[in-house]
Structure 1
Amino acid sequence: MAMAMTMGVCVSSIFKFSSYNYNNKPVTVAVHKNEKMGVPYNLKEGQSRIFHKLPSGLNMEVIVQKKNKESRNDVENEKHYSLVFVHGSYHAAWCWAEQWLPFFSESGYDCYALSFLGQGESDEPEDTVAGTLQTHARDVADFIHRNIRSPPVLLGHSFGGLIIQYYISNLGNNKLKENLYPELRGAVLVCSVPPSGNSGLVWRYLISKPIAAFKVTYSLAAKGFQSSLSLCRETFFSGTMEDHVVKRYQELMKESSRMPLFDLRKLNASLPVPSVPNLPLEVLVLGANNDFIVDAEGLKETAEFYGVSPVCVEGVAHDMMLDTSWDKGAEVILSWLNGLHK
């Protein structure tokens, strides 16, 4: 079952690592004019859309918003690391550009939001699905290696959080002939799929919440959220979100995924994510108390996996970065980021 096409969990670790600097210069990326989404996302002031060419020759969409040098907090404005955002299923780079990129750039961070292949304005691979945990994580790693000078903080939502977990599991992997995964300053998992995948969530819903299980499966696996405004709201947002806002996001989500992000059978066969002894970075696990997809047990599983306490934000739903109270989660992350400087 594909119930967890958009789930979430996040964590914070007690381990830190020293700063590291890449000597390679940022790679020049092309700007494309042909829009792939039938409902294009119009960028906000201060944002730009570039395309990073992957080793495969395919182009990955990146929405960029550099830090505001006249930000509200001049002391915190001189950040030495960037934020890289990765989305989950039925979303693309635009989901970060709506609220969180302006917020964090105003707070002094250079921000980069990626769209995986087959999603948003990125190119499509010659396959029936966009990729695997490995290929998506490698695409993120390639972008970071070629464009970000010092280790960034990686933020992922839903299945994007699972991709980050796979990325983390490969940090310092001595089995690899070369280090394919650049180091990170930290990671934030926002309403993320747990490291074991969605099977535990599915069974818990079937046993304890059969009606909710049917709704979530119909909404995500059968894409029912695309035709029902009320189901779209219930799946991703708070009940107070106005119809016209839900409709706008619904249309963008319809156009965001031209192919599935994963083959879920192959994905489940590759899980759980390998554990990482002596985790070399700090991780924040962030959940939403009104999340219709990821339950408290799923949040707890991810937190325990990394040996940290989860943070559950009150009054927000699964799409925390787009919800009516999007600032609540953003403020929690900002406070955590500021703690990385100490």
Structure 2
Amino acid sequence: MTVAMSVCVSSFYNRFPICSNSKVSSKPVAVLKMGVPYDLKQGQCRVFHQLPSGLNMEVIVQKKRRNVEDYPPLVFVHGSYHAAWCWAEHWFPFFSASGYDCYALSLLGQGESDVPADSVAGTLQTHARDVADFIHQQVRSPPVLLGHSFGGLIIQYYISSLGSNGLKENLYPKLRGAVLVCSVPPSGNSGLVWRYLFSKPIAAFKVTRSLAARGFQSSLSLCKETFFSDTMEDHVVKRYQELTKESSRMPLFDLRKLNASLPVPSTPNCPLDILVLGANNDFIVDAEGLRETAKFYGVSPVCVEGVAHDMMLDTSWEKGAEVILSWLNGLNK
């Protein structure tokens, strides 16, 4: 385990205070749970946010490299088999250089976060509440929430809870906007699975083997086909394969219970600007799933050419980042 992974919480707090009433855990950061370390890049710090349950949630932070006072902070939420590190690799340096404070969360049971006393990491509701608690305690102004895959579904639930009544408005802090990246649609993944079974049975078998049976963890070719473009070099795929294998110590959801609770409640007259972003080479979320999410929010989807499901890690990661940056610039006008 490398020393570079170890970041002192007190040093982070002094250099980059999050807010005056921070609940930052004093838990030793050198005690890591992932067997494969992710070395933070220059300007990045790791800290632990203590949830009301007493469990600690890993947060990777990179502050903006140029001072733009009115730009909203960005809070990133990963999907299954990933953790906060997936945003820190390329998109954190990109967005911090553009004037944005960046925070990436590892949901419970993922990355370096604590593991709850259950068979799964949580529910749609508990994950959304953990995100909301972090924003309430640690983020000074309404952020833009960005979610990938199942992280996008968590954000959709968060959005559905905004302002529905006075109590929930306090539980779920206001947002400046939201970006759904290759997101699972509001109805969940069951529609995706059935479409694949009828139209692409071989692809359906591969997806099931890769994700449900975790075949991507042992097969380099299946890992590449599931998450990345064909052009990504094998040694890079191997590194990400090892990180994804270590990132999830327990399932993010009980999928049967999750699908029984869907679709996400509708949000008529949604008060947020929302960007629905997809990838034309996505092996998991198909074009119909992308259109479903966009229609749900009354926006036009943006499909990025030449990238796969893990848009933030793929060989052409900058394509999606530039689309988001352009959307953010419009948000700031």
| TM-score of the two chains, using structure 1 as the length reference | 0.90
- Identical counterparts, % of pairs: 83
**Correspondence for 2:46:** 49
Q: Which of the numbers 149, 163, 173 marks the counterpart of 1:158? A: 149
Structure 1: 5+ residue runs without aligned partners?
1-22
Secondary structure, aligned partner of 2:281: coil
1:110 equivalenced with 2:101 (yes/no) = yes
1:189 equivalenced with 2:180 (yes/no) = yes
**Correspondence for 1:135:** 126
1:278 equivalenced with 2:269 (yes/no) = yes
1:186-217 CA-to-partner distances (Å, cap 9, x unmatched) read 00000000000011111111111000000001
**Correspondence for 1:82:** 73
**Correspondence for 1:241:** 232
1:202-254 CA-to-partner distances (Å, cap 9, x unmatched) read 11111110000000010000000000000000000000000100000000000
| 2-structure distance, mates of 1:140, 1:110 | 16
> 8 Å contact 2:24–2:50 — kept in the other structure?
no
Q: Which of the numbers 288, 302, 305 marks the counterpart of 2:296? A: 305
| 1-structure distance, mates of 2:58, 2:166 | 31
> 8 Å contact 2:73–2:143 — kept in the other structure?
yes
> 8 Å contact 2:63–2:96 — kept in the other structure?
yes
> 8 Å contact 2:73–2:101 — kept in the other structure?
yes
1:56-93 CA-to-partner distances (Å, cap 9, x unmatched) read 00000000000002xxxx7xx33432000000000000
Which of the pair is proportionally richer in helix?
2
Structure 2: 5+ residue runs without aligned partners?
1-18
Amino acid aligned to 1:249? Y
RMSD, aligned α-carbons: 1.3
| 2-structure distance, mates of 1:191, 1:264 | 18
| TM-score of the two chains, using structure 2 as the length reference | 0.92
> 8 Å contact 2:161–2:168 — kept in the other structure?
no
Of structures 1 and 2, the one scoring higher in RCO (CA 8 A, sep 6+) is: 1
Aligned length: 314
Q: Which of the numbers 64, 68, 75 marks the counterpart of 1:67? A: 64
Secondary structure, aligned partner of 1:207: helix
1:293-334 CA-to-partner distances (Å, cap 9, x unmatched) read 111100000000000000000000000000000000000000
> 5 Å matches for 1:1-342?
25-30=21-26, 32-69=29-66, 77-174=68-165, 176=167, 179-342=170-333
